[in-house]
Amino acid sequence: MVHYTCDLCGKDLCAGEPRFVIKIEAYPGHDPDQITDDDLDDDHMEAVAEALRNEEYQASDTHQEQGYKGFRFDLCPSCHQKFLKNPLGRDLIRALDLSDFSEN
């Protein structure tokens, strides 16, 4: 039997109890170059298919070298609600504003 624990508070999540899965992906953003009329006329389906085939065979190390990182968390209902209210933890960062401390 598979056992789950809330990755935030550590609560045991019993079978049949609600559990929420959070997946986060971090990767470099890419801004496309200027699109021209010629780009719109070309049929890019073969290029897309080839890119997908190549993606299937790339190792996860390649993703990490390019800055890709994936995360997966199991949360209890209470922690899930907290996550939805503040997914980036901004409130905690504001509460820990270290600029008030002097440099020693």
Query: Could you give the residue ranges of the DSSP H alpha helices within 1-104?
Result: 37-41, 45-57, 60-65, 77-85, 90-95
pTM of the predicted model, to two decimals?
A: 0.59
Domain boundaries, the chain: 4-29+36-100
Tally of CB atoms within 10 A around 75: 23
Q: Is the confidence at residue 22, as pLDDT, over 80?
A: yes
27-39: average pLDDT: 77
Tell me the pLDDT tens digit for each residue of 37-73. 777 777 778 777 877 777 655 545 555 567 889 999 9
When the pLDDT of each residue in the chain is averaged and rounded to a whole number, the result is 80
DSSP 42: S
